[in-house]
Amino acid sequence: MKAAVFREHDKDPEKVVKIEDIEVPKLKPDEVLIKVEATSYNYNDLWAIWGRPIKVPMPHVSGTDISGTVVELGEQVTSLEKGDRVVSHGNLSCRICSMCTSGREYDCEKRLVWGFQTGPLWGGYCQYAHLPEVNVAKISDNISFEDAAAVSMVGMTSWHMLVDRARMKPGQTVLIMGGTSGVGMVGIQIAKLYDCTVIASAGNQQKMDKCLELGADFVVNHRQEDWYKKVRDMTQKKGVDIVFEHIGKTVFPQEVSLLKMGGTLVSTGATTGYDSTIDLRYLFFRGINIVGATQGTKAELEEVLFWTSKKKIKPLINAVLPFSEMVKGHLMMARGDQIGKTITTPQKL
């Protein structure tokens, strides 16, 4: 089968990522084999290629979010059948520790992100992929393979951030940073499901317009120096209940200053840098909450898939690339010029 493989780290994906022939994987008893129809790009693909912040197993196949059809079953698999349309749940956890059995599989000490930390040659940029039965979710016939791959991890992460970690309630004011990113596009739509007032941010006018199309009530350009003052004006100086954060260093102090008394900032990334600052007076005088989030549970993934099937969540897809041109997706992501998710189709060379 064809797979996108790299055997060394480099800043330039074009230099190291190549389409190669590798063997179709042999299944363990609890695994299924999936014919991959669509794979969605994530920023951890770039981290893997760059070899930072961690080294990854070599040779490496990236790709965490796949959708496709089950074509083979391990002998212990009972909940799936050949022909089922499925999507991956990329959070590989032990399922037996106290974190997992209390519903916090994302906090499992043995957790691995499939397609990022796994290998050698075990990820989703390939024509056939294998996963444990427990890491596969069914998708309804009215969800396309492209939409399923685009919404799976970012949707699950966004649901986990807003519903579980930030405890979002109807009627609140929610600031969604980076509203046309993968997590941002779903974050806007989840907040509107809860009938919240949504202020979204984006880096240019085209992206700002897309945020409004997705349902945001207000939008601001976070690249402008006074962006946070505009947000404050939009709330009549009251501030926001929740900040949905993944940009990091360049905006973090201003985000904290926008929180109401008892408000919550929930963070799942820091693409502009990790070493930020905070005015501690906001922390104790306002009683704010700063919480982290990463990925989510399979149940949260299935919640997002339900609302996607009802057309209440619609993934924003930037481009669908044939597998022979899949490195273009890495380059677009590195430049930051994509709007929504980029997809590659391993069966279409």
pLDDT digits over 28-62, tens only?
A: 999 999 999 999 999 899 999 999 888 899 999 99
pLDDT in tens, 275-313: 888 889 889 999 999 999 989 999 999 999 999 999 999
Average pLDDT of the residues in 210-216: 97
* 107 and 201 inside one domain: no
pLDDT in tens, 233-273: 999 999 999 999 998 889 999 999 999 999 999 999 888 88
* 100 and 176 inside one domain: no
- Full residue range of the structural domain in which residue 210 is found: 156-292
Amino acid at 118: T
Query: Taking a C-beta distance cutoff of 8 angstroms, is the pair 106, 295 a contact?
Result: yes
* 173 and 116 inside one domain: no
pLDDT in tens, 159-208: 999 999 999 999 999 999 999 999 999 999 999 999 999 999 999 999 99
The continuous run of DSSP H or E covering 87 comes out as: strand 85-88
Q: Checking DSSP bridges between strand 31-40 and strand 18-21, what pairing results, if any?
A: unpaired
* 287 and 196 inside one domain: yes
Rounded to an integer, what distance in angstroms lies between the CA atom of residue 343 and that of residue 335?
16
Neighbours of 227 (CB within 10 A): 16
Distance of CA 223 to the CA centre of its chain: 22
* 198 and 230 inside one domain: yes
Q: Which residues contact 289 (CB under 8 A, 6 or more apart)?
A: 262, 263, 264, 265
* 127 and 229 inside one domain: no
* 71 and 110 inside one domain: yes
Task: Return the half-sphere exposure (C-beta side, CA atoms, 13 A cut-off) of residue 85.
Answer: 14
For residues 323 and 43, the model is more confident at 323
DSSP string, 263-281: EEEEE---TT-S-----HH
pTM: predicted TM-score of the whole model, two decimal places: 0.94
Q: Is residue 336 domain-resident?
A: yes
Tell me, what's the pLDDT at 274?
85
For residues 83 and 250, the model is more confident at 83
Tell me, what's the pLDDT at 141?
97
Tell me, what's the pLDDT at 248?
85
**CATH code of the domain in which 216 resides:** 3.40.50.720
Q: Is residue 304 domain-resident?
A: no
Please name the residue ranges forming H helices in the chain: 13-16, 43-50, 98-101, 145-159, 182-193, 205-214, 227-234, 252-257, 280-285, 298-309, 327-335
Percent above pLDDT 90 for the chain: 91
- Distances in Å between the alpha carbon of 326 and those of 3, 76, 120, 160, 333? 11, 34, 20, 29, 12
Q: Which residues contact 96 (CB under 8 A, 6 or more apart)?
A: none
- Counting the structural domains of the chain, the total is 2
